[in-house]
Amino acid sequence: MKRIIIYVTLIFSTLFAKAQADSSVRFLRTINGDIVDFAVDNLDNLYLFSSSNQLKKLNMHGDSVAIYNDIKKYGRATYIDVSNPLRVLLYYKDFSTIVTLDRLLNIRSVIDLRKNNILQVKAIGLSYDNNIWLYDEVNSKLIKIDDQGKTLLETPDFRQLFGDAPSPQSIFDRDGYVYMYDSIKGVYVFDYYGTLKNKILITGWKDFKVAGKYIYGITNDTLQRYQINTFRVDNQKLSSPVWPALSLGFTPTRLYALKKDAVEIYSLH
């Protein structure tokens, strides 16, 4: 199964404020079922992917809210962005297609990138103004498009700027900047006009995420936090019952751990 890259608005500060991970986590409940991956938004809504590619949305109490079942046309999504609960992005890399959904997982728009001569995209992300950032691997450009796939902004060819162009796995729009993460080359930071402002030498982090003034990721069983303004890196070793987990998700008050056919939910004190 392709790894689904999950981008959500995550707040890890509570976890790092505690001396030990175990003392800051209290088990709440487990959601069992055919679950192969998940995302969580900043309202504690859960988005669960099944092995048959179905996407189900649950509210913070575990009640079913909506189901997206139009799965035969595109197959398995390779990316989900739930940074805005009212506008969910699904990206199907094999079809070069982006599907946008509303809060009830009804289709709002379908964007075939090939019709706009964008042929190879690995990373996308929702912009602050509800447009879409993506990285064109063929032309080595960061591009911003609207719901119809129309190009609103594009950078120069990065091969001319950097020599060895990046190949990012994820893109995040946060607090006036766009963060583009290449796990081998590092983090490229742009302003909203596509001008490179900084490069952060963070490599090899899994589950890379940007939230507020921090960048987060996991190395082995350790949660990493990089403070953007001070360049300081903190880390927190994860232990039972949270770890090991297939992937983790956070909101300001909760921690979510994906296990086999289940998502465990914990309260952060």
How many Cα atoms sit within 13 Å of 155 on the Cβ side? 27
pLDDT given at position 107:
94
CB atoms under 10 Å from CB of 138, counted, come to 10
Q: Say what the pLDDT of residue 259 is.
A: 96
Q: Measure Cα distances from 250 to 129, 146, 236 in Å.
A: 24, 29, 14
Which regions in the chain score pLDDT beneath 70?
1-24, 269
Q: What is the domain extent for residue 148?
A: 5-268
CATH of residue 119's domain is: 2.120.10.30
In this prediction, residue 156 carries a pLDDT of 94
Residue 15 confidence (pLDDT) = 45
Q: Would you state the pLDDT for residue 27? A: 92
Q: Can you give the pLDDT at residue 269?
A: 61
Q: What pLDDT, on a 0 to 100 scale, did the predictor assign at position 211?
A: 78
Domain count of the chain? 1
